[in-house]
Structure 1
Amino acid sequence: MAPPSDADAPVPLPVRGAQAAWLSPVVGDGSGRSARAEQDGYGDEEADAQTASVFSITGDELDPADAPRPLDEQRADAERVSMRALSRRGVSTSELRAMLSKQDAFDPDVIEQEIERLTRVGLLDDVALATDLVDRMHSRKGLGRQAIVADLRRRGIDQAAIDAALDAAADDEDDEFIRAIELATKRAGQMRGLDRATAERRLSGFLMRKGYNGGVVRIAVERALDGPRRPPTGGRGTVRFE
């Protein structure tokens, strides 16, 4: 079997301020991996797969078949597992709770105490995570509001945190229109040989798959095919489809 390559290395979570002080013993310098983190963002399949290996740091010592361990020992192990998880990617409260509950290695009270500790020191913050994910998925991946909300819900982030993250996005509605028009205009440039109906259908499908709603899609497609100044009726825009 070929040795693992650098591309298989886990992607560290970018940390700032107080978080850096807590995570620095676990994260290291992250040398050579920041570009990968920028490319992948959070919430992708690779990041999900990474969480499955978090318990590998504990080995047999967390075997749930063993006799119940002292609570102090459980707390120390729970902290170690949590810090390792947080060093690899952004983790929601729901994801961390599921992760710690996964192998029945920790008493439920120990799990809740660890979650409370991380929340108190600012390492577990669903609003901050959601805000970062909104920026990454919208600005860098071109996803629409519907797709973003669906992904945040899949990550177990509650609606209040999702709403707060969306509210924090400046000019959210206008920005969504602008981004959709940019994507549609770029894609329209590849459709010059198509008739109007086919181009509209393909552009609409493209934007819908990106998570934009029907109203945004309709306007973006019109702008992309007709240009910013559409003739009142029946005219031809700046992009023609023969």
Structure 2
Amino acid sequence: MAVTSSDDASEELDEETERQTRKATGVAIRQLARRGMSRWELEQLLTKREIAPEVFGPELDRLEKLGVIDDASLAATLAFTQHSRKGLGRTVIEQDLKRRHIDPELIEAALEDIGEDDELERATELAVKRIGQLSGYDDETARRRLHGFLARKGYTSDIVRQAMDAAFAGRRSRGGSGVRFQ
């Protein structure tokens, strides 16, 4: 029985789809091994690699079902590490997760673990550490710089104020007056 040209074309198309699917899987697995990525980030990457959405969509669905792609886990991990290691506040963490196009409900769930007490404690640790680096400045300049530092880390103004009060109380108790004259 002879193979017709339409059979050859569909066979070539199937082979190309299979090759593209393997490529999509390989790219996704390698990227996930390097760092956590959201599904949206993987979609963007695969689009840049010129893999058709019809090909990578089902493959990403399969990887999601296997638990290889897990936006909820990624959001929780990022929230924890960014808060505990980098000292970032909820606002900056939320912005980062939104930038990665993680579902708002997953972001909310990930940020629930960071309570206001945790934020205040971490902000106070950062403020106390930073105040030592500002010992050469007068109180007003040190306050301004410390406020900017904590605000950039994503802490609310209420938490920034409380952390600064604690840091300056410690600075005064150690006898640091700010400017030192020689």
What range describes the TM-score normalised by the shorter chain of this pair? 0.7 to 0.9
Q: Does 1:160 align with 2:95?
A: no
Q: Which has more radius of gyration?
A: 2
Q: Does 1:139 align with 2:84?
A: yes
Contact 1:193 1:241 in 2 (8 A): no
Q: Does 1:241 align with 2:177?
A: yes
Residue of structure 1 equivalent to 2:147: 204
Q: Does 1:91 align with 2:37?
A: yes
The Cα of 1:199 is off from its aligned counterpart by 1.8
Residue of structure 2 equivalent to 1:187: 130
The Cα of 1:73 is off from its aligned counterpart by 2.6
How far does the alpha carbon of each residue in 1:167-213 deviate from its partner, in whole angstroms, 9 at most, with x for none? Answer: 2x2x5211100000011011112333433222211110111121112
The TM-score with structure 2 as length reference comes to: 0.82
The Cα of 1:72 is off from its aligned counterpart by 2.5
Q: 1-side partners of 2:16 and 2:133: how far apart?
A: 64
What SS does structure 2 have at the residue aligned with 1:70? Answer: helix
Contact 1:204 1:217 in 2 (8 A): yes
Residue of structure 2 equivalent to 1:78: 24
The TM-score with structure 1 as length reference comes to: 0.63
Q: 2-side partners of 1:73 and 1:186: how far apart?
A: 54
Residue of structure 2 equivalent to 1:16: none
Q: 2-side partners of 1:142 and 1:101: how far apart?
A: 34
Percent identity over paired residues? 46
From 190, 201, 225, the equivalent of 2:168 is: 225
Q: 1-side partners of 2:166 and 2:102: how far apart?
A: 35
The Cα of 1:237 is off from its aligned counterpart by 4.6
Task: State the superposition RMSD in angstroms.
Answer: 2.0
The letter for the 1-side match of 2:173 is T
Q: 1-side partners of 2:88 and 2:74: how far apart?
A: 17
Residue of structure 2 equivalent to 1:216: 159
Contact 1:184 1:221 in 2 (8 A): yes
User: For the structure 1 residues 104 and 190, does the alpha-carbon distance in structure 2 shift closer, same or farther, using more than 3 Å as the test?
Assistant: closer
Residue of structure 1 equivalent to 2:9: none
The letter for the 2-side match of 1:196 is D
Higher relative contact order (Cα pairs below 8 Å, separated by 6+ residues): 2
- Structure 1 consecutive aligned stretches of length 4 or more whose deviation exceeds 6 Å: none
Q: Does 1:175 align with 2:118?
A: yes
Q: 1-side partners of 2:27 and 2:144: how far apart?
A: 48
Structure 2: gaps of 5 or more residues? 1-11
What SS does structure 2 have at the residue aligned with 1:211? Answer: coil
Q: 2-side partners of 1:146 and 1:178: how far apart?
A: 16
From 95, 107, 110, the equivalent of 2:55 is: 110
